[in-house]
Amino acid sequence: MDISSVSDPLRVELNKELHGRPAIRLGAPARVSHFAYLSGEDGGVADRKHLQNLCDRYGMARPPAAGRHYVGDFGPFFLKWERHTEFTTYTVAVRSGRDIPFTVAAVEAMPRDWVEAIPGRMLVALNIELVDSDDQVAKEACFTPFWHKDVAGSKVAGGRSSVWSDFRIHDDSFMRLAILADDLSEGRAGRLVQRVIEIFTYSHMALMALPVAREVMAQSSEIENKLEQTVSEMSHTTAGSEAELHLDTLLGLAARTEHQVAQSSFRFSAAKAYHSLVERRFEEMREVRIPGSQRLSNFLDRHLAPAMRTCEAAAKRLNDLALRVDRAAGLLRTQVDLDSQRQNKELLISMNQRAQLQLRLQETVEGLSVVAISYYAIGLAGVGFKAAKAAGYPINPGLMTGISVPFVMLAAFLLIRRIRHSVLKKGESAKVSGL
C-alpha cells in the first residue's frame, strides 16, 4: 500500500533530521582539523554558497538548497559541513600515515584560497591527531608539542582509549588534541572525534556570553547607582516639576535596562544550552580518570562553570534591576497622584469658598434689587394717588403711599424670587441634558 499521498511533508523532513548528522568514519592513524565560524543567524546563505563553490571545484554534488548538513569525500580530504543557529562548522579529515603528529594540519589538503575566504569570524580552530595506542613512537610524538605541564587527559570509550589536550592556542593558531585509540572501530572512533569536537566548540560558544556578562555587570552598576540617587531625592521631592524630572530619569533607566535585557537574553540563554551540551557529551564519552592527570571535564568545569555562574548572576541582576526601576517608577507615580489629589482637593475647597461668596453677593444684590424696585414702584404709586386726589377722590396720597409700601416690597421680593427659581431650574435642566 502506498501511503505517500496521506503523509505530511513535515514527517519526511523530521526523519531526515534524525539522520542528518552522521559521524565521520575514521581509523587510526588519522589527522583532523576542525573550525567553527561565527556568521550570525542570517549567515547560512553565504556559508552554503561558499560550500557549493568548493563542490563545483571538485566536481562534487552540491548540498541541498536548505540543507544544514553535508558530508563528502573530495579525494585528498574528507569534509563534514554543518550549519548551526548562529555558527557553521567545518571538519576536515585525512589519513596521516607515518607523519609526525601536529607537524602538518589536515586543512592543508584543502585549497588555501577557499579556506581563507570562509565567511564569518573564526572562533574555534582545532587540530586532532588520532593515533594507534600500540604505536609507541607516535604516542610519544603526540605529547612533544604540549610544551607545558598543564595537560589534561581522560580514558574514554570504556577505558580502552584516551584523550589529551592542553586547551591552549599554539603558535600555529590551533588548539591541539591527541586521541590514543585502542581497538576502536572506524564508526566508534568517528563518534569519539565528533564528541570531543563538540565539547571544544560548544564550550567556546558558551564562553562568548562571558564578555557580555561583564558588560552587563558594569552597566547594571551604573544604573543602580543612578537609581539609588534618584530614589533618595524622591523622598525629599515636593514640587511637581522635580517629580517630572525624576520620572524622566526613571524612564531613561528603564529604557537602558530593557536595552541590556534585549541585548543579552539570547546570549545568556544560548550559553546555558551550550553548557548543557558540553556536560552531555562528557557523559556520552564515559570519561574515566587517569592517575596523575586531571580529567578533561575537571579542567573545563574549573574554568567554564564559574563563567556560567557569572552569566547567571548577570542575568538575575539585570532582571532584579528592571523590577527595582519599575517599583521606583510606581512609587513616583503614586506620589504624583497623591499630589494631584491634594491639589484637586484644595482647588475644590477654594471653589466652594468662592461659590459661597458669590451666593452672599447674589443675596445682597437681590436685597438691593428689591429695595430699588420697591422705591420706583412706590414712587409711581404715589404719583397715581396724587392724580386720584386731584381727580376728586377723597384720599390722602401720603397715607395711601405709606400703606402701599409693604405690599409693593413683598410683591418685588416675590417677583425676584420667582425669576431666580426659574433661572436655576433652566440651568439644572441644561446640566442634565449635557450629561
pLDDT tens profile 57-97: 999 988 887 778 889 889 899 999 999 889 999 999 998 76
**Do 218 and 89 sit in the same domain of this protein?**
no
Same domain, 306 and 164: no
| pLDDT at residue 220 greater than cutoff 70 | yes
Taking each helix axis as running N to C, give the angle between helix 240-285 and helix 296-390, from 0 to 180 degrees, rounded to the nearest 10: 160
174 neighbors 125 (Cβ within 8 angstroms): yes
Q: Residue 329 has what pLDDT?
A: 77
Domain boundary among the residues 317, 345, 373 is at: 345
Of 105 and 366, the structure prediction assigns the larger pLDDT to 105
Give whole-number Cα distances, 67 to 40, 52, 78, 89, 428, in Å.
Answer: 17, 12, 18, 14, 79
The gap from C-alpha 312 to its chain's centroid, in whole angstroms, comes to: 14
Give the per-residue pLDDT at 19: 59
pLDDT over 90 (residue 23) = no
pLDDT tens digits for range 97-135: 666 788 888 999 999 999 999 999 999 999 998 888 777
Is the domain of 65 the same as that of 111?
A: yes
- Residue 416: per-residue pLDDT: 76
Q: Is residue 431 part of a domain?
A: no
Q: Is the pLDDT of residue 43 over 90?
A: no
Together in a domain, 34 and 157 = yes
Question: pLDDT class for 18, splitting at 50, 70, 90?
Answer: low
Tell me, yes or no, whether 399 lies in a domain.
no
Same domain, 202 and 213: no
Domain endpoint, select from 345, 367, 392 = 345
Q: State the pLDDT at residue 276.
A: 92
Place of cell 444684590: 365
Residues 201 and 282 occupy one common structural domain: no
Same domain, 180 and 226: no
Same domain for 59 and 128? yes
pLDDT for 430: 60
Average the pLDDT over each of 298-312, 319-333, 337-351 and give the range with the smallest value.
337-351
All three cell numbers of 85, joined, read 543557529
pLDDT for 429:
67
Same domain? For 215 and 201 the reply is no
Q: What are the φ and ψ backbone dihedral angles of 73, each rounded to 5 degrees?
A: -100, 105
C-alpha cell at 260: 541590556
Of 137 and 173, the one with more pLDDT? 173
**Does any domain span residue 59?**
yes
Sheet holding 78-83, edge to edge: 69-73, 78-83, 87-95, 30-38, 121-132, 175-181, 161-169, 152-156, 288-289
What pLDDT was estimated at residue 12? 67
Residue 167 sits in the same domain as residue 216 = no
Confidence of residue 34 (pLDDT cuts 50, 70, 90): very high
- pLDDT of residue 424 exceeding 70, the answer is no
- Predicted confidence (pLDDT) at residue 238 exceeds the cutoff of 60: no
Is residue 304 assigned to a domain? yes
167 and 278 inside one domain:
no
Same domain, 130 and 213: no
Residue 412 within a domain: no
Tally of domains within the chain: 2
What mean pLDDT, rounded, does the chain reach?
A: 82
Q: Which domain holds residue 191?
A: 20-206
The DSSP symbol for 259 reads H
159/336: higher pLDDT: 159
The more confidently predicted of residues 402 and 111 is 111
pLDDT at position 380 is 80
